[in-house]
């Protein structure tokens, strides 16, 4: 019998979740068969196949093959309802789980579970070994991490959720560094805007000085009052503006005003250089985070293959 939701003329899902493609009967639980199925149908048809396998045969796509839902996401005492979680959880969901069509175990109980296990030695050891692997992704380091997680989660009923938290904790420091440099970029943008505003004041003063000197025998002797300011380029004040360390109204001539403008332009260059350094650091960390997501996906796939016939409740 075919499943109720057929997928067109070229392929259909039949008994036991087998996909009939022409005169072939292919098992989507086998990676090679799934590759053949994908090659023989359109993207739209494949989406229909996924729906039929999910709805009628409790199969979900896991990497390069389909697996039983019970093997894939049996979280007995884990999340009862899904929620978005914090920013780090959302990013992990988007870049690892959604990208691989995996069910994300982040849910309404995840924060509570983290509070319960975050102080456990086995949890912190798992996080440490995950970080070690991410920093040096050798087969030896991956095996050490996998062995630790298998031992730690043995007999637990919310293994998916614990694994999610291990991965989240292991990349948290990198995410925090990324947020730091993103904030520094915003700070330097604000500094640059404030310096530009001050430069406009100096340009206006220069224009006034030029107007005063028109027709004068010694225009270079004309003077104008300006606010001479000095700034702290390392931070912003509590209002999010450039920190002014000193401010004094002075009467200046053309030479002094030009010196003030040159000094201000030099400060602008300093801020631009600092912003570029922060931008480079941010981009490097952004690339590193994406690499971490790829490594997490790889580890999860390998752990799934290591179940050796026993449901380990691992993705």
pLDDT value, residue 158: 74
Within a domain: 26: yes
Place of tokens 């520094």: 184
Output 216 or 185, whichever has higher pLDDT. Answer: 185
- As a whole number, the mean pLDDT across the chain is 84
Establish if 149 belongs to a structural domain: yes
Q: Are residues 20 and 123 in the same domain?
A: no
Q: What does the longest C-alpha to C-alpha distance in the chain come to?
A: 105
Instruction: For residues 150 and 303, give the distance between their C-alpha atoms in angstroms, rounded to a whole number.
Output: 9
Let me know: does 19 contact 25? Beta carbons within 8 Å: yes
Examine the domain organization and report whether 287 and 185 are in the same domain. Answer: yes
pTM greater than 0.75 (yes/no): no
pLDDT digits (tens, 9 = 90+) for 52-63: 998 888 787 866
pLDDT at 98: 83
306, part of any domain: no
Same domain, 50 and 94: no
Same-domain pairing of 256 and 189: yes
Q: What is the pLDDT of residue 311?
A: 40
User: Looking at residues 29-49, what average pLDDT do you find?
Assistant: 89
| Model pLDDT, residue 249 | 95
Q: What would the pLDDT profile of 132-176 be if each residue is shown by its tens digit?
A: 999 999 999 999 999 999 889 887 767 788 889 999 999 998 989
Of the pLDDT bands very low, low, confident and very high (cuts 50, 70, 90), residue 7 is: very low
Confirm whether 314 is domain-assigned.
Answer: no
Indicate whether 137 belongs to any domain: yes
Give yes or no: residues 206 and 163 share one domain: no
Q: What is the dihedral of CA 188, 192, 194, 195, to 10 degrees?
A: 130
> From CA 39, how far away is CA 158, in angstroms rounded?
36
Whether 116 is covered by a domain: the verdict is: yes
> According to the model, what pLDDT value does residue 77 have?
40
Q: How many domains does the chain have?
A: 3
For residue 30, the enclosing domain spans: 11-72
Taking residues 239-258, report their average pLDDT.
Answer: 93
CA 122 to chain centre: 26
Residues 194, 268 share a domain: yes
Query: Is residue 187 located within the same domain as residue 123?
Result: no
pLDDT given at position 150: 86
pLDDT (tens digit per residue) in 184-210: 999 999 999 999 999 999 999 999 999
Question: pLDDT, tens digit, for every residue of 255-312?
Answer: 999 999 999 999 999 999 999 999 999 999 999 999 999 999 888 877 766 653 444 3
The Cα–Cα gap between 93 and 82 comes to 12
| 8 Å CB contact between 73 and 157 | no
Secondary structure string (H, E, C) spanning the chain:
CCCCCCCCCCEEECHHHCEEECCEEECCCCHHHHHHHHHHCCHHHHHHHHHHHHHHHCEEEECCEEEEHHHHCCCCCCCCCECCCCHHHHHHHHHHHHCCCCCCCCECCHHHHHHHHCCCHHHHHHHHHHHHHHHCCCHHHHHHHHHHHHHHHCCCCCHHHHHHHHHHHHHHHHHHHHHHHHHHHHHHHHHHHHHHHHHHHHHHHHHHHHHHHCCCCCHHHCCEEEEEEEEEEEEECCCCCEEEEEEEEEEECHHHHHHHHHHHHHHHHHHHHHHHHHHHHHHHHHHHHHHHHHHHHHHHHHHHHCCCCCCCCCC
The two structure tokens encoding residue 285: 């960390």
The pLDDT, as a whole number, for residue 1 is 35
Asked if residue 65 and residue 23 are part of one domain, the reply reads: yes
Same domain, 142 and 194: no
Is residue 189 in some structural domain? yes
Domain end marker among 112, 142, 170:
170
Distance separating alpha carbons of residues 198 and 161, to the nearest angstrom: 53
In a domain, 2, yes or no: no
Q: Is the pLDDT of residue 72 over 50?
A: no
């Amino acid at each position: 019998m075919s499943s109720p939701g057929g997928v067109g003329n070229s392929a259909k899902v039949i008994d036991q979740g087998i996909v009939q493609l022409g005169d072939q009967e292919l098992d989507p639980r086998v990676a090679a068969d799934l590759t053949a199925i994908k090659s023989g149908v359109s993207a739209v048809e494949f989406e229909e196949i996924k729906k039929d396998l999910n709805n009628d045969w409790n199969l979900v796509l896991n990497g390069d093959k389909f697996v039983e839902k019970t093997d894939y996401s049996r979280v007995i005492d884990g999340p009862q309802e899904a929620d978005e979680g914090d920013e780090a959880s959302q990013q992990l969901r988007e870049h690892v789980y959604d990208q691989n069509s995996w069910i994300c175990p982040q849910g309404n109980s995840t924060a509570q579970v983290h509070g319960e296990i975050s102080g456990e030695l086995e949890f912190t050891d798992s996080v440490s070994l995950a970080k070690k692997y991410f920093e040096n992704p050798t087969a030896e380091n991956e095996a050490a991490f996998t062995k630790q997680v298998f031992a730690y989660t043995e007999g637990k009923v919310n293994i998916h959720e614990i694994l999610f938290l291990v991965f989240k904790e292991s990349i948290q420091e990198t995410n925090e560094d990324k947020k730091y440099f993103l904030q520094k970029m915003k700070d330097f943008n604000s500094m640059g805007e404030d310096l530009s505003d001050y430069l406009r004041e100096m340009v206006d003063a220069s224009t006034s000085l030029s107007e005063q000197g028109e027709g004068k025998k010694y225009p270079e002797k004309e003077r104008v009052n300006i606010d001479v300011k000095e700034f702290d380029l390392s931070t912003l004040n509590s209002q999010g503006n450039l920190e002014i360390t000193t401010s004094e109204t002075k009467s200046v001539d053309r030479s002094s005003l030009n010196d003030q403008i040159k000094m201000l332009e030099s400060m602008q260059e300093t801020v631009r250089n600092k912003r570029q350094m922060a931008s480079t650091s941010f981009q490097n960390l952004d690339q590193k985070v994406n690499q971490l997501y790829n490594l997490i996906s790889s580890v999860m796939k390998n752990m799934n293959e290591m179940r050796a016939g026993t449901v380990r409740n691992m993705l």
